[in-house]
Structure 1
Amino acid sequence: MSALPPDVPRLRAILRHLEQQIAENETVGVYLRLQREAVAEALAHTEGNAAQQPSSVRAQQPAALTGFTSNARGSKATGFAVERQRRAIGPEPARIHTDDCGNAGPTHPVTAQDARAALLDPMVEACPFCRPDTELGIDVD
């Protein structure tokens, strides 16, 4: 960064902005890692199926993308959803919910396997109301 302002209020404002950007990018990073894992799984599954099929059948069937679903609730229930948690200061963790949780804000559907993997990340927490960790059979406390 080039020349910084010499006064405390502007330096604090810059610092708050940078901390907010870091926190937002960490939350996006969690979601993107979940999606990357889903795509890698779909690719491995598709490649495994493609190796077993004759080449004439492979050319006719398009590969299906899994892990990408609509943001609207109920459009394609996967059982679990991830919600971004906004905070005034500090990092913004994601929260995992069951897809029928009435306490969730805007969410993105995720598979049970992605929800399990996300709950192992320290920036992701389980909803204290719908308890997806209990439903998944894991203990995150």
Structure 2
Amino acid sequence: MFELPPDPSRLRMILDFLDEQVARNQTIGIYLSVQQKAVRHALSVAEGQAEAARQPSRLHGRGPKGSSTAGPAPSRRERGSSGFMIEQRRTPSGPEEATVHQDDCTMTGNRTHRDISAHDARLALTDGQLEACPFCRPDTELGIFD
């Protein structure tokens, strides 16, 4: 390492510059990580769609001999759901945001929640302050993987 100046003013200036560079690089690293995860998710979805297109289509309902063939479960988009929500838990000082859910998650029950966009859900999950619901997995839906 190079020799540092002895006076506090120059040392503070160097430290401020280094702090700024570290913060800038962390922000870029987080952004690139989020983008990388989104591309991986999109790739897995695209590969899954390509695989589904190669398989013969299934009939819904009863087959020719009275047997039923179950098709794949409808996607969130097919069910008309595209939003997210933040569940709030009760505390002595008032409600606090706790968990991010997909808006059709059945694990929230009658608890207090507020609807949010996919962008806001992605921000809430990537900043580390809120947890993803382990049941509906909004982080997977948004392409956020650990």
> Which of the five TM-score ranges fits, normalised by the shorter chain?
0.3 to 0.5
> Which has the larger helix fraction?
1
Task: Please give the TM-score of this superposition, normalised by the length of structure 2.
Answer: 0.39
| Larger RCO: 1 or 2 (CA < 8 Å, sep 6+) | 1
Task: Please give the TM-score of this superposition, normalised by the length of structure 1.
Answer: 0.40
Which of 1 and 2 has greater Rg? 2
